[in-house]
């Protein structure tokens, strides 16, 4: 347990790289999403598609921007999950370290969209958690200390213990009495002291349910925040894109779309924050947190399945919501959340 084992500085550095890099990736993705359909970005994408190797893809500017948006959204979700797992890895969770190992490669590959520097920090921090003192710390083994340097005379600082040779007499004091070592006496038996309260180990199914909730809630909040910001800064681009797709809109239609985007952003961001709070409470073993998170996941799964009829993009959040429902209904999760409160193992 991390409470009784001091964390090595090596592990602290690795966790800081993971959490800091993940936060930087999410912020960078949010900035890129807010200006994704701007004139400057369109010109850059057009220039890339007109010259090799971009010209070999055969994509239009709109298709390239839509593809880049999907990549950025997926990257934001993975980075959010990596940040949460990095925090719990700092507390000694081996499952979190394993989850980071799974996410490190796709984050690093998708990081090309944001330059790759921040995602490289996440990958480097994850690799550090499997090497050096961190490897011993996560296994629960004592971290080996560095050997001390010996003094000029070859001594390590402490006097060597006397070695008694066979046939040697015992040392005597000046009066001639033989010195004998006194045996330590056992302390008197006292009243039994109650031991520490048992440590409750958090089920892995609950951890993954909370991680899925935090990842996709953060992703939804970032997406809707970027959409609202785009509508606030460049509403003409949104209307122009809809008209290009064949949807003729007048002034009334444009105003209605603006209001719908703002309302949707407010509802989804608020819902995402509420689901994240429920996940925190469930993670701490509060029964109401599990119930609230289960209800939120059920509604999210239902809404996402309805949205599949319009676009296939919502298949991923629908699967994540259904997986969260299944994980929260496992027997060990129900028993753990309704069991007695006590010290929780990280």
Q: What is the pLDDT of residue 2?
A: 41
pLDDT band at 278 (very low <50, low <70, confident <90, very high): very high
| Integer-rounded Cα radius of gyration of the chain | 30
Q: What is the pLDDT of residue 1?
A: 41
pLDDT of 167 strictly over 60: no
pLDDT of 159 strictly over 70: no
Q: What is the pLDDT of residue 277?
A: 92
Cα 121 to Cα 141: distance, rounded to the nearest angstrom:
27
Q: What is the pLDDT of residue 184?
A: 54
Report residue 128 as tokens: 């550090």
Q: What is the pLDDT of residue 235?
A: 73
Strands 200-201, 344-345: pairing is: parallel
Q: How far is CA 207 from CA 96, 107, 279, 283, in A?
A: 9, 20, 9, 7
What percent of the chain stands above pLDDT 70? Answer: 70
Most confident of the following: 152-161, 237-246, 290-299, 315-324: 290-299
Cα 239 to Cα 69: distance, rounded to the nearest angstrom:
18
pLDDT of 150 strictly over 60: no
pLDDT band at 196 (very low <50, low <70, confident <90, very high): low
Mean pLDDT value across residues 266-285: 90
pLDDT digit string (tens) for 279-290? 999 988 888 899
| pTM for this prediction | 0.51
Q: Are 100 and 138 in contact (CB under 8 A)?
A: no
pLDDT digit string (tens) for 58-89? 677 787 887 888 888 888 888 888 988 988 88
pLDDT of 343 strictly over 60: no
pLDDT band at 3 (very low <50, low <70, confident <90, very high): very low
Length of the chain: 346
Cα 3 to Cα 346: distance, rounded to the nearest angstrom:
9
Our CA dihedral for 12, 17, 19, 25, rounded to 10 degrees, sits at: 180
Residue-range domain boundaries for the chain: 1-141, 200-339
Q: Are 224 and 217 in contact (CB under 8 A)?
A: no
Q: How far is CA 8 from CA 125, 135, 173, in A?
A: 14, 10, 49
Q: How far is CA 152 from CA 81, 156, 161, 304, in A?
A: 53, 9, 19, 73
For tokens 């003192």, the residue is: 133
Between 27 and 200, residue with greater pLDDT: 27
Between 127 and 57, residue with greater pLDDT: 127
């Amino acid at each position: 347990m991390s409470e009784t084992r001091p964390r090595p500085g090596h592990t602290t550095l690795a966790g800081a790289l993971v959490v800091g890099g993940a936060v930087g990736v999410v912020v960078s993705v949010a900035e890129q999403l807010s200006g994704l359909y701007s004139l400057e970005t369109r010109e850059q994408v057009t220039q890339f598609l007109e010259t090799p190797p971009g010209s070999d893809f055969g994509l239009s500017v709109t298709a390239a921007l839509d593809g880049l948006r999907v990549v950025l959204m997926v990257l934001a979700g993975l980075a959010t999950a990596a940040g949460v797992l990095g925090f719990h890895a700092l507390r000694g969770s081996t499952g979190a370290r394993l989850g980071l190992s799974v996410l490190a490669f796709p984050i690093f590959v998708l990081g090309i969209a944001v330059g790759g520097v921040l995602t490289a920090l996440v990958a480097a921090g994850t690799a550090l958690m499997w090497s050096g003192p961190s490897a011993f710390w996560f296994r629960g083994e004592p971290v080996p200390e560095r050997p001390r340097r010996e003094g000029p005379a070859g001594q390590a600082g402490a006097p060597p213990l006397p070695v008694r040779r066979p046939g040697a007499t015992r040392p005597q004091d000046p009066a001639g009495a033989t010195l004998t070592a006194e045996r330590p006496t056992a302390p008197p038996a006292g009243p039994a002291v109650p031991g520490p309260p048992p440590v409750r180990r958090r089920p892995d199914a609950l951890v993954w349910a909370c991680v899925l909730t935090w990842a996709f809630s953060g992703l939804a909040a970032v997406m809707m925040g970027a959409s609202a910001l785009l509508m606030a800064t460049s509403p003409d681009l949104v209307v122009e894109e809809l008209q290009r797709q064949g949807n003729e809109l007048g002034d009334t239609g444009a105003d209605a779309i603006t209001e719908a985007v703002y309302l949707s952003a407010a509802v989804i961001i608020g819902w995402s924050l509420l689901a994240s709070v429920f996940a925190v409470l469930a993670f701490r073993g509060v029964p109401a947190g599990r119930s609230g998170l289960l209800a939120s996941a059920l509604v999210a799964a239902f809404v996402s399945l309805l949205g599949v009829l319009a676009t296939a993009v919502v298949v991923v959040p629908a699967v994540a919501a259904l997986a969260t429902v299944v994980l929260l209904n496992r027997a060990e999760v129900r028993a753990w959340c309704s069991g007695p409160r006590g010290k929780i193992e990280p």
